[in-house]
């Protein structure tokens, strides 16, 4: 039958994944870094995904397609939720205000030294002699202030906690030349992350965002938080997403 249905231009798609979360029927997935309509029967043709595409890669066309199957959509959504819930826990509800007066949460920029004395090197470098590339403190997303001066004109790295432990050269390949914030999407409140990141984007000129996540499913929460924060803030910046395997290798 001929009906209205989504068409995705792979050449225009930048792989941001915003359409994936916008599609309530779960008809779109990211495959090899591109949005793909996985089956005609899941697409109702209403175009909920259109306004979320920053590159206008999605349009509604008329073509011969299988009829929309609401029962199949409901089964798919139930199965997806069951898979996501398997072994997962509810995010911990943590107080969203920070205690006042703690010197450990004071925002500060870390100045880098051009040369290090042998005495300092033994403390500030790892066994291979690589210096720390951290440019600011604190790093926990819950502790940083959205108006901290180091955020302005920054290349922002948003990393899941485990990434720096899994990937050996994390300082050299990720933290270097970036302002770094970290968090755990499994143990923390992703809605809080979304709101905090949106505040950072609205209050500062961010040059780019790199998201470093682990390959485990629960780590998808930090990706979702960043993408929805960009939508909430109305700020779209150059975006890069890197997945690190539990074996320490970069997956994509």
Q: What is the pLDDT of the chain when averaged over all its residues?
A: 82
Give me the pLDDT at residue 128, please.
55
- pLDDT, one tens digit per residue, over 2-40 is 999 999 999 999 888 888 888 888 889 888 778 899 889
Same domain, 145 and 75: no
SS3 string of the chain? CEEEEEEECCCCCCCCCHHHHHCCCCCEEEECCEEEECCHHHCCCCCCCHHHCCCCCEEEEEEECCCCCHHHHHHHHHHHHHHHHCCCCCCCCCCCCCCCCCHHHCCEECCCCCCCCHHHHHHHECCCCCECCCCEECCECCCCCCCCHHHCCEEEEEEECCHHHHCCCHHHHHHCCCEEEEECCCCCCHHHHHHHHHHHHHHCCEEEEEEEEECCHHHHHHHHHHHHHHHHHCCCCCEEEEEECCCCCECC
Segment 34-56 shows an average pLDDT of 87
Mean pLDDT of all residues in 122-147: 78
Q: Record the pTM.
A: 0.55
CATH number reported for the structural domain that contains residue 23 in this entry: 3.30.70.20
Judge if 117 and 81 occupy the same domain: no
154: CATH? 3.40.50
pLDDT at 175 over 90: yes
Q: Are residues 63 and 178 in the same domain?
A: no
Instruction: Tell me whether residue 91 is in a domain.
Output: no
Domain around 118: 103-244
* Structural domain contains residue 35: yes
Note the pLDDT tens digit of each residue in 224-238: 999 999 999 999 999
């Amino acid at each position: 039958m001929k009906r209205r249905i989504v068409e995705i231009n792979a050449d225009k798609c930048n792989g941001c994944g915003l359409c994936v979360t916008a599609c309530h029927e779960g008809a779109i997935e990211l495959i090899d870094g591109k949005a793909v309509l996985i089956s005609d029967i899941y697409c109702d043709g209403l175009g909920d995904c259109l306004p979320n595409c920053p590159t206008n890669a999605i349009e509604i066309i008329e073509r011969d397609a299988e009829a929309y199957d609401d029962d199949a959509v409901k089964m798919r959504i139930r199965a997806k939720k069951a898979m996501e819930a398997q072994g997962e826990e509810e995010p911990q509800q943590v107080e969203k205000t920070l205690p006042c007066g703690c010197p450990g949460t004071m925002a500060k920029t870390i100045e880098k030294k051009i040369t290090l004395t042998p005495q300092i090197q033994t403390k500030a470098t790892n066994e291979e002699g690589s210096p720390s590339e951290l440019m600011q403190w604190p790093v926990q997303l819950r502790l940083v202030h959205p108006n901290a001066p180091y955020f302005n004109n920054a290349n922002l790295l948003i990393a899941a906690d485990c990434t720096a432990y899994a990937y050996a050269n994390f300082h050299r390949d990720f933290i270097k030349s970036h302002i770094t914030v970290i968090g755990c999407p499994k143990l923390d409140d992703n809605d809080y992350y979304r709101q905090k990141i949106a505040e950072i984007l609205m209050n500062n000129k961010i040059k780019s965002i790199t998201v470093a996540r682990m390959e485990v499913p629960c780590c998808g929460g930090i990706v979702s938080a960043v993408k929805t924060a960009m939508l909430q803030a109305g700020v779209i910046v150059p975006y890069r997403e890197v997945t690190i395997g539990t074996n320490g290798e970069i997956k994509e």
